[in-house]
Each structure stands twice: as C-alpha cells, then as structure tokens.
Amino acid sequence: MSKSSNENSARERVLDVAEQLFASRGYAAVTLKDIAKQLGIKQASLYYHVPGGKEDLFVEVMLRHLERRRQGLEQIIAAGSLELEDCLTRVGVWLLSQPPLNASRIVSTDLPEIAPEKARQIERAMRHCFFTPMERFFARYQDRLRGDAGFIAGRFLSSVEALSLVKRYSPKTDEQLLAETIDLLLHGALKS
C-alpha cells in the first residue's frame, strides 16, 4: 500500500465519526463542530484531514460506506449456502451489524443539499453497491419467485432497513425481527 496504516488511521477516525453522525441525524443537521467535538479537536482542525470541507467529507463518507457494503454483500452472496432463506438471513444479519444506511432519507433529503454532480455520484454508487448486488442475487432464484427480482430485492432491503425503526418499539431481538421479516417476504402474510 502507498500509505502506512498509521498515516491512514487519523483520517479514518474522522470518517468514522462523520459516518456515525451523518447516518443518525442527516447531512443538514450535523455541523462540523459536532464532528470535531466528538473527535476531541476544534472545528478548524478538520480541514487538515478533509480540505474539501463538509460537502466533500459527506461524499467520501458515503462512498466509503457503500463500497464496504458492496464488498460485504458480494462476499456473503458468493460464499453463501445455496439455500435462499439461509443466505438471506446471513445477508440480513450482516446488514444489521453495519451502520444504518437510511437510503430513503439520503436520496430524498440529504442529496438535494449538496452539489448535483456529487449527488449523482452517490446515487450511482448506491445502485451499484447496494441495490444491484441484491438484485443479481435474487435473479439467481428467479424460477422460484413470483414477480420481478429487482422489485423483491428492493422490498428486502427496505424491509431490513426499516428494522432500525421497528426496534424502537418492539421488545423482540434483532434475530427474531429479521426472521419474521424474511419469512413474511418469502411466504406472505396470509395462511395458505
């Protein structure tokens, strides 16, 4: 690698903190002072690590996050068992272990706040790293599915994302909620 891991670590820590804050409160509500405070430094010091300022910081955070998703998803999908339900469970468990993406809020609320070209870049990455891998995964089971693999992939991803909201009101564990979510997606709400 071109840089030692130590040279990277400080910058990575900035990105980690920014990621957590942007993810939970959104682009507009998070200030550079918030990020700096959590790092134990002053706001102006952030510009040493991220000369491009707030907007570029957000773009970097998002692209790094999405690339990590893509790698994680494709690894699980490639190595996963051939059983659909097992593989979905593994994907779901891993997704829940990651910082929440909140894709809907990002697209409709965060992206309009930044420069259009940067917004498009992030939107492209979301499709490429998040949606497309799952769509390809479901496409492998197309013959066993009723309906479009892309539509089902979208339903799966948004259902798993919605769990971070459901968790606030439900006493059930993540594993239980995930199992119910997958069961509902695959077999439906009606008794057969």
Residue 174 binding: pick among its own copies, DNA, none (C-beta 5-8 Å cut-off by kind)? none
CB 149 within 8 A of CB 135: yes
CB 21 within 8 A of CB 38: yes
Q: Kindly tell me which of 10 and 162 has the beta carbon lying closer to DNA.
A: 10
Residue 176 binding: pick among its own copies, DNA, none (C-beta 5-8 Å cut-off by kind)? none
- Rounded least distance, CB 37 to its own copies, Å: 16
Binding flag, residue 161, DNA (CB under 7 A): no
Among 90, 164, 167, 174, binds its own copies (CB under 8 A): 164
Distance of CA 102 to the CA centre of its chain: 7
Binding flag, residue 53, DNA (CB under 7 A): yes
Residue 54 binding: pick among its own copies, DNA, none (C-beta 5-8 Å cut-off by kind)? DNA
Q: Kindly tell me which of 75 and 104 has the beta carbon lying closer to its own copies.
A: 104
Q: Kindly tell me which of 10 and 162 has the beta carbon lying closer to its own copies.
A: 162
φ/ψ of 172, rounded to 5, equals -70, 160
3-class DSSP string for 60-108: HHHHHHHHHHHHHHHHHHHHCCCCHHHHHHHHHHHHHHCCCCCHHHHHH
CB 36 within 8 A of CB 46: yes
CB 145 within 8 A of CB 152: yes
Q: Kindly tell me which of 28 and 165 has the beta carbon lying closer to DNA.
A: 28
- Interface contacts to DNA, rule CB under 7 A: 6-7, 10, 30-33, 36, 40-45, 47-49, 51, 53-55
